[in-house]
Amino acid sequence: MGSANGLASAQGEQPLFSFGVISDIQYADIPDGRSFIGVPRYYQHSIHVLQRAVHKWNNHQNLEFAINFGDIVDGFCPKDQSLSAVTKVVNDFGKFKGPIYHMIGNHCLYNLPRDKLLPLLKIPSINSHAYYDFSPCQEYRFVVLDGYDISAIGWPQDHPKTLEALKFLGEKNPNKEKNSPEGLMGFERRFLMFNGAVGKEQLEWLDGVLQDATKVNQKVVVCCHLPLCPGATSKEALLWNYDEVMGVIYRYNCVKICLAGHDHKGGHSIDAHGIHHRVFEAALECPPGTDAFGHIDVYDNRLSLRGTDRMQSTDMCFDCKKA
Ligand SMILES: Nc1ccn([C@@H]2O[C@H](COP(=O)(O)O)[C@@H](O)[C@H]2O)c(=O)n1
Ligand SMILES: O=P(O)(O)OC[C@H](O)CO
C-alpha cells in the first residue's frame, strides 16, 4: 500500500482525468450488525458515507465520472423495502454532477432480480447481462465485468445460468451450506454461493475488447465486484474463474489495473505481469462519522488513488522508473 512501488512525484503534473470510487455501501434501514466473522456493519450509516462522497466529488469539480463497485443495498434489507432502498441509494448517486458507472454485487441480487436492477442502475444490457466498456479519453478504456454472469443468485431459479452455477457449486463445494468454505483448501475456498463466474460469451467479448484496445493503443482498467487476484483479497472473495479471466488478460499487454470490491477490508497487490489489483475498503464497515471512498487521478503511466479516511491512498504505477 502507499507509494512503495517506485512512484515519481506527481507534483505539478496534471492528470489526464479523474474519477470517484466507492464500494459495498450495503445500505439497509436496520440496526447495526456484524459479518459472519464478527466485523461490525453499519447499515444505516453507510448511505451517509455515500452522501459525503458525492458532496466531496462535486466539490472537487474536476471528476469526469464515478464508479460504484457494487452491493449498494444489503441482503438483510427487508424485501418489501428492496425497491425503495435501491431507489434511495440510486437517487443519492444521482446528486453527483457527472455519470455514475454501476456494477452489480451479490447483495444487489439478493434484493432484486436482474431485470429490475439493471434498468434502475442504467447498466447497458443485452439479455440481462451486466458487462460493458467505456472510454473516457483516447488513451484509456474501462471494462466492467459481470462477476455474477454464472451465479446461483439473480437469475430465475430455472434459468440455465442458475442451473450451471448450482451444478458447479455441487461439484466444487461438498458443504450443505454452499456459502461455507469449511474443509475447502487454499484457493478452492472461493467456491461459495456468494461468488460467481464470468461465462464463456463474456470471456469472448473481453478478448475482443482487449484485442481492439491493443489495436488502438489504449490502456485498460478492468473493474469487477469480485477480485481477480489472490494477492489482493481473501481466498473466499475471489471470482470462481479468476484464473481464466486473467488468462485472457495476459494474452495482451493493455490491461494495467484491475479494481474490485466485495472483500470489505480492502487490498492491493501487483501480479507477476506487473498488473496492479486494488480492492476497495467497504463503506458499510465505516463506524459512524468515518468514511471510505476516494478519487483516482489518471496519468499516462499510473493511477493514483486518493483515499478518504478508511480508504487507503495507493499509487499504482505501471511504467515508472524506480526513484
Ligand atoms: N467463513 C464463512 C463466511 C461466511 N459464511 C456464510 O456466508 C454468509 C455471508 O457471509 P457474511 O460475511 O456476509 O456475513 C454467512 O451468513 C454464512 O452463512 C460461512 O459459512 N463461513
Ligand atoms: O458480500 P458479503 O457481505 O457477503 O461479504 C463477502 C465477503 O467479504 C467475502 O469475503
Per-residue model confidence as pLDDT tens digits over 168-180 = 999 999 999 999 9
On the question of pLDDT at 10 being above 70, the answer is no
**Mean pLDDT, to the nearest integer, of 131-157?**
98
- List all residues whose CB is within 6 A of at least one atom of ligand 1: 35-36, 177, 179-181, 194
Task: Say which ligand is closest to the CA of 183.
Answer: 1
Q: Is 106 in the pocket of ligand 2 (CB under 6 A)?
A: yes
Q: Is 236 in the pocket of ligand 2 (CB under 6 A)?
A: yes
Q: Which of 103, 264, 280, 285 to mutate to test the pocket of ligand 2 (most atoms within 8 A of CB)?
A: 264
On the question of pLDDT at 2 being above 80, the answer is no
16-47: per-residue pLDDT in tens?
Answer: 999 999 999 999 999 999 999 999 999 999 99
On the question of pLDDT at 184 being above 90, the answer is yes
User: Could you give the CA distance from residue 210 to residue 297 in angstroms, rounded to a whole number?
Assistant: 22
277-298: per-residue pLDDT in tens?
Answer: 999 999 999 999 999 999 999 9
Give 272-307 as a 3 state SS string.
CCCCEEEECCCCCCCCCCCCEEEEEEECCCEEEEEE
Q: What is the pLDDT of residue 323?
A: 55
Task: Say which ligand is closest to the CA of 184.
Answer: 1
Which of ligand 1's atoms lies nearest the C-alpha of 36?
A: 14
pTM recorded for the entire structure: 0.96
Q: What is the pLDDT of residue 322?
A: 61
Q: Which of 36, 73, 107, 284 to mutate to test the pocket of ligand 1 (most atoms within 8 A of CB)?
A: 36
Q: How far is CA 239 from CA 127, 129, 137, 266, 316, in A?
A: 22, 17, 29, 15, 22
- Ligand 1 centroid, distance to 137 Cα (angstroms): 40
Structure-block grid coordinates of residue 234:
481473501
Q: What is the pLDDT of residue 1?
A: 35
Q: What is the pLDDT of residue 107?
A: 98
- Ligand 1 centroid, distance to 36 Cα (angstroms): 5
Q: What is the pLDDT of residue 40?
A: 98
Of all residues in the chain, the percent with pLDDT exceeding 90 is 94
On the question of pLDDT at 308 being above 90, the answer is yes
Which of ligand 1's atoms lies nearest the C-alpha of 34?
A: 14
Task: Say which ligand is closest to the CA of 35.
Answer: 1
For ligand 2, atom 10: residue with the closest CA:
237
Give 243-266 as a 3 state SS string.
HHHHHHHHCCCCEEEEEECCCCCC
**Mean pLDDT, to the nearest integer, of 125-149?**
97
Q: What is the pLDDT of residue 148?
A: 98
Q: What is the DSSP letter of 73?
A: B
For ligand 1, atom 18: residue with the closest CA:
179
The β-bridge partners of 102 are 68
On the question of pLDDT at 4 being above 70, the answer is no
109-127: per-residue pLDDT in tens?
Answer: 999 999 999 999 999 999 9
Q: How confident is the model at residue 189 (pLDDT cuts 50, 70, 90)?
A: very high
Which of ligand 2's atoms lies nearest the C-alpha of 26?
A: 3
Mean pLDDT of the chain: 95
Q: What is the pLDDT of residue 6?
A: 36
Amino acid identity for residue 187 in this structure: F
Q: How confident is the model at residue 228 (pLDDT cuts 50, 70, 90)?
A: very high
Q: Which domains are delineated in the chain?
A: 17-317 (3.60.21.10)
Q: How confident is the model at residue 5 (pLDDT cuts 50, 70, 90)?
A: very low
Q: How confident is the model at residue 320 (pLDDT cuts 50, 70, 90)?
A: confident
On the question of pLDDT at 164 being above 80, the answer is yes
Beta pairing class for 17-22 and 63-68: parallel
